[in-house]
Amino acid sequence: MRVRGTVQAVGFRPAVQLLAARLGLAGSVRNDGAGVWIEIEGAPEALTSFCAQLKIDAPPRARIESVEHASIAARGETRFRILPSGELGAGGARAPADLAPCDACLAELDDPNDRRFRHPFINCTDCGPRYSIIRDLPYDRSRTTMDVFLPCPACRREYEDPHSRRFHAEPIACPACGPQLRYLVQGQPPIGGEAALAAAVQKILEGGIVAIKGAGGFLFAVDAQNELQVARLRARKRRPHKPLAVMARDLAWAERLALLDEPARRALTDPARPIVIVPLRPGAPLAPSVAPGLREVGLMLPSTPLHQLLLQDGPAWQVMTSGNRREEPIACDDATALSRLGEIADGFLTHDRAIHTRVDDSVVRVVAGAIQPVRRARGLAPDPIPAEWATTPLLALGGELKSTICLARGGEAFVSQHLGDLGGQAALEFFEETVEKLARLVGARPELVAHDLHPDYRSTRFALDRGLPRIAVQHHHAHVASCLAEHGRFGPAIGVAFDGNGCGPAGEQWGGEFLFADLSGFRRHGHLRPLRLAGGDRAVTEPWRLALSALKDAHLDARRLARIEPARRRAVERLLAADLSSPKTTSAGRWFDAVAALCAVRDEISYEAQAAIELEALAQSGAHEPFPFLLQSAEPFAIDLRPAVRGVLEALDRGVPVGEIAARFYETMAEVVASGCRRVRDATGLELVALSGGCFQSARLTERSCARLRRDGFDVLLHRRVPPTDGGLSLGQAAVAAHQSPNRRSAHVPRHPR
């Protein structure tokens, strides 16, 4: 029998052996480069039962995609064995994601009579590190970073005992034979063992910043209630406003901070242990600097036994934020951490288990009653997404921001962990490293490369250097295609792509698009009326420039921005009047920024989408009337938001609270989405809508848009497997490239829409 899917590092071979023993069957099972190989013999009725029970008895984290079997001559075996792994094959095996400690391991962690009491690296076949420690497949200890730790006799007995929860658990270890903690302060001798943990906890309690080596990299930890401590972390990390994630001791402590619905509770306790963005309870006892200007917080539960111990011994709520400097990937080894993070951390709690693949924390939120990824990383990557169109192996390289890559082959698409923005050399090296590692783990070398149209993206330049056939995919087509592909849909559909910016086919700046699209092509049916970026890219970080552009476009008095220093304001007015350094963009994200600045919410930003996020945080609940707008009759149509700008200013003049204005503008943009889709339906007859792009990371915009669309009879697809942001671009690029490839072999290739 050949079993393919997520069947390595999840306790699958032990489950097979136990099932065979229960049915009185003999034979063997082994891992290899294509998955799991089973030879089984015995009475025909028992073999039939074995085949029927295999999926039912599979471990909880196993994902069986296919089982092929054929009859061979009986060998006369008398027992069932787990054999050493076979050689690497042509692909088919999967590297599973890291898993948080299971309940059984947590119980042992807290049991003074257990030999793994307070062991920071406790794990079993149901939990523990996987993707972050695997160097190669098939999955054996010798191919992980645990190979340097020789199991003690007690661990070896558990490893070989079919009735043990640690039967063939490759990272098996205990305090006697496993990794060891160290607490490091520059210029001082290291502290080891339990004393290292105690020193780190004491430093946090004293108000210090400690860098913690987790499963996939370092995190900075501080007391989440200590405003001085959080402010010091922000200053040292040069992160003035972007919200920080908080780790809670357990679900009960999480409930004391946040308003949790059932989907949020399930996400928090999922073995992936993502950060879940949830509403703060009124009066929640968090330091104000944790999430300034927001009514929500990114909350998570301990993702490793080490974090569990830190939260048990130290503050019950701790800020846990990525251990990196601005514009750099997360640090994953001691040398890098000590050299790059020494100006930030007061101490380092580390250990001697190497991280082979760095993986940041995943981030999700509840949107329209279900989980939507914001950042797909630890615990979720590199779990594959079914992709019937993926035949010829191909590599898709994503964009420039929130970068991911996708390697597709054999009916599956493997989207990498979040790689970050490709602005610096360290980030680019991480990107290139991930391309090579993912190709090796997936067991496929790409024959085709897909990339964005933008010629200056570093991912595009990387594609040009690969020496492989290339397909350039338009940015917003890739957004819509990613939403279709994750749902197993081929289109055609009405694609609404609302984001910050993307390169159009002729080099234009798009970002508020209504497309008729399938996985092979698209046609632009409509867009938002363009807004000029006064000063180019500076307008993105200084939204007051966008507000000024919107005022001038609507023939309104620029002195409405009297708070802006007059000389600066007049200089930007001259740029607009002369049409210098002021490219036009249809970006939906820039309209949110402009309205935020008109309402004096945010004139300058320190992180992406800050103005829009803070505008949404101010929006009042309840029903609100949208501001007016115009839908022009030309093809492609343009949606004119100048009447909405006038409406915003009139409301401000009447003294309407900014929270109500913000709510009305979000209703306006939701009605824009619905009106545009109705217009495309009138022209095409389509009723399937795919919502994608960074603006649909907003729960408010997405939910209001969905409500209107579904009321109008549309079938709406939302992102559930990859983010709607540029973090999902690589999946969409892969799907489009597979359908546009001259060597395509897919059985389902829709025609380009005419």
- Domain spans in the chain, listed from the N-terminal domain onward: 2-82, 95-361, 364-482+726-736, 530-670
> Nearest to residue 212, comparing CAs of 243, 240, 181, 190?
181
**What does the mean pLDDT of the chain come to?**
93
The least confident of 57-61, 421-425, 622-626, 675-679 is: 57-61
Instruction: Put the strands of the sheet holding 448-452 in their side by side order.
Output: 385-386, 412-415, 406-409, 394-396, 448-452, 470-473
CA 711 to mean position of chain CA atoms: 30
The least confident of 442-451, 540-549, 727-736 is: 442-451
pLDDT at 746 over 50: no
Higher pLDDT, 35 or 600: 600
In DSSP terms, which residues pair with 638 in a beta bridge?
Answer: 527
Tell me if 95-361 shares its fold with 530-670. no
pLDDT at 754 over 70: no
- Contact by Cβ (8 Å): 316, 254: no
Higher pLDDT, 348 or 83: 348
Q: Residue 750's pLDDT is what? A: 42
Cα 123 from Cα 100, distance rounded (Å) = 9
Q: Residue 562's pLDDT is what? A: 92
91 pLDDT tier (thresholds 50, 70, 90): low
Tell me which residue has tokens 């680019």: 428
pLDDT at 747 over 70: no
> Over the stretch 650-677, which tens digit does the pLDDT of each residue have?
999 999 999 999 999 999 999 999 999 9
Domain 530-670 class in CATH: mainly alpha
Pairing between β-strand 26-32 and β-strand 80-82 as defined by DSSP bridges: parallel
Q: Residue 753's pLDDT is what? A: 43
Domain 364-482+726-736 class in CATH: alpha beta
- Contact by Cβ (8 Å): 659, 620: yes
CATH number of 2-82: 3.30.70.100
Q: Residue 92's pLDDT is what? A: 59
- Contact by Cβ (8 Å): 553, 666: no
CB 93: neighbour CB atoms within 10 A? Answer: 27
- Contact by Cβ (8 Å): 611, 605: yes
CATH number of 95-361: 3.90.870.30
Average pLDDT over residues 305-330: 94
Under 8 Å CB-to-CB from 497, ≥6 apart: which residues? 475, 476, 477, 479, 480, 510, 511, 512, 513, 515, 692, 693
pLDDT at 410 over 60: yes
Cα 263 from Cα 456, distance rounded (Å) = 40
pLDDT at 743 over 60: yes
Q: Residue 230's pLDDT is what? A: 97
Average pLDDT over residues 195-213: 97
Q: Residue 400's pLDDT is what? A: 94
Instruction: Supply φ then ψ for residue 130, to 5 degrees.
Output: -140, -85
Higher pLDDT, 211 or 68: 211
What proportion of the chain, given as a percentage, has pLDDT over 90? 82
Query: 3-class DSSP state for residue 747?
Result: coil
Q: Residue 440's pLDDT is what? A: 87
Q: Is the peptide bond before 96 cis (omega within 30 degrees of 0)?
A: no
pLDDT at 641 over 50: yes
138 pLDDT tier (thresholds 50, 70, 90): confident
> Over the stretch 39-52, which tens digit does the pLDDT of each residue have?
999 999 999 999 99
pLDDT at 88 over 60: no
Assign 3-class secondary structure to 276-333.
EEEEECCCCCCCHHHCCCCCEEEEECCCCHHHHHHHHHCCCEEEEEECCCCCCCCCCC
Q: Residue 402's pLDDT is what? A: 94
Instruction: Supply φ then ψ for residue 590, to 5 degrees.
Output: -70, -30
Average pLDDT over residues 685-693: 97
pLDDT at 350 over 50: yes
Higher pLDDT, 696 or 425: 696
Q: What angle do CA 271, 273, 274 make, to 5 degrees?
A: 135
> Nearest to residue 372, comparing CAs of 610, 380, 57, 285?
380
The least confident of 301-305, 496-500, 532-536, 558-562 is: 558-562
Q: Residue 748's pLDDT is what? A: 41
Query: 3-class DSSP state for residue 149?
Result: coil
pLDDT at 317 over 50: yes
> Over the stretch 158-186, which tens digit does the pLDDT of each residue have?
999 988 999 889 999 999 999 999 999 98
600 pLDDT tier (thresholds 50, 70, 90): very high
Q: Residue 749's pLDDT is what? A: 38
Query: 3-class DSSP state for residue 387?
Result: coil
Average pLDDT over residues 604-611: 96
